[in-house]
């Protein structure tokens, strides 16, 4: 199927696999399409030419959906734009209400126990998925258009990077949707809104900023702050920090109450400023 980013050191791999049921070391490709080779973005996880199903099969009647809940959309896994195989991808500016139809694939033993794009450990027995442009993590309802079966998954990875596919589901999700043997299925995906602040009591704990520049000279930061403040209806601040004998003055727009608000501001900012801002998240725990 597709390759994805190696986000953390291999030491975490063993910890992630410690309690998992046994899986095949090499998939025979039955029930799944061949994955891409590494292309320079991975290590041992890309040594196998084909993916496969685990030794322990799952009963679809025992597989529970992922339970949607509010989660902070951190910077990890949400870099935009990013490049894979020379192609640039940008995260969607508004994921609330996002719907998409297309082909779903699945991934199994080849990626089991390896890090996902946001640093978590992938388990083929969990209800997760990979998407190229949705923020991480979000919850998605997936409907198999061929049989009407549905599943709720948590997106925590990037992919698939085959242009004819829109989402890569875990082995468990593919079993629940009953397309493991076919390898792919026609699906509709719909994002479940969990970051609505009225539904998320702890949403206020996170503050989102768009950082537009960093200067060693405070005067330069002040000039840009004044210019942006004159052109934008959003607050513009300077965050000063010291470290390793240097002082940096970072010009940031915000704070915003959620990821969607920050992305909406980014769209407005592009009309006034030619640079590429990046997301900064203050979750109150770091």
Domain ranges of the chain: 11-192, 206-282
Mean pLDDT across the stretch 19-26?
Answer: 35
Q: Global pTM?
A: 0.72
The CATH number of domain 206-282, selected from 3.30.70.1070, 2.40.30.20, 3.30.300.210, 3.30.70.20: 3.30.70.1070
Confidence at residue 200, expressed as pLDDT on a 0 to 100 scale: 54
- Regarding beta strands 207-215 and 278-282, do their DSSP bridges make them parallel or antiparallel, or are they unpaired? antiparallel
The CATH number of domain 11-192, selected from 2.60.120.1270, 1.10.1840.10, 3.40.50.150, 2.40.40.10: 2.40.40.10
What's the pLDDT tens digit per position in 33-90? Answer: 223 322 333 333 333 356 676 767 889 999 999 999 888 888 888 988 899 989 999 9
Query: Where do we find the tokens 């949403």?
Result: 203
CA distance 40 to 28: 23
- For residue 181, pLDDT over 50 is answered with yes
- For residue 12, pLDDT over 70 is answered with no
Same fold, 11-192 and 206-282: no
Asked if residue 168 lies in contact with residue 157, where contact means CB atoms within 8 angstroms, the answer is: yes
- For residue 17, pLDDT over 50 is answered with no
- For residue 284, pLDDT over 70 is answered with no
CA distance 226 to 72: 30
Across 17-21, 163-167, 272-276, 278-282, least confident range: 17-21
Split at pLDDT 50, 70, 90, the class of 163 is confident
What's the pLDDT tens digit per position in 80-104? Answer: 889 998 999 999 988 989 999 999 9
């Amino acid at each position: 199927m597709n390759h994805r980013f190696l986000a953390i050191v291999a030491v975490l791999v063993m910890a992630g696999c410690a309690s998992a049921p046994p899986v095949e070391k090499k998939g025979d490709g039955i029930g799944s399409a061949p994955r891409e080779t590494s292309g320079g973005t991975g290590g041992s996880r890309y040594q196998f030419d084909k993916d496969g199903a685990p030794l322990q099969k799952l009963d679809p009647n025992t597989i529970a959906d992922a339970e949607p809940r509010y989660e902070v959309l951190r910077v990890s896994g949400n870099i935009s734009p990013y490049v894979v195989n020379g192609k640039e991808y940008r995260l969607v500016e508004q994921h609330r209400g996002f719907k998409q139809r297309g082909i779903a694939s699945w991934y199994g033993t080849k990626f089991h126990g390896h890090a996902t794009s946001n640093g978590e450990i992938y388990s083929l027995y969990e209800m997760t998925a990979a998407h190229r442009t949705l923020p991480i993590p979000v919850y998605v309802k997936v409907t198999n258009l061929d049989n009407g079966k549905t599943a709720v998954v948590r997106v925590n990875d990037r992919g698939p990077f085959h242009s004819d596919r829109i989402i890569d589901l875990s082995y468990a999700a593919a079993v629940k949707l009953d397309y493991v043997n076919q390898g792919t299925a026609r699906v509709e995906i719909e994002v479940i809104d969990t970051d609505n602040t009225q539904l998320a009591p702890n949403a206020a704990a996170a503050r989102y900023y768009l950082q537009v520049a960093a200067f060693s000279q405070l005067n330069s930061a002040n000039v840009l702050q004044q210019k942006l403040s004159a052109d934008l209806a959003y607050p513009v601040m300077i965050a000063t920090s010291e470290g390793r004998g240097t002082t940096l003055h970072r010009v940031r727009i915000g704070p915003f109450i959620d990821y969607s608000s920050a992305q909406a501001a980014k769209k407005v900012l592009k009309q006034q400023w030619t640079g590429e801002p990046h997301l900064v998240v203050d979750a109150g725990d770091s």
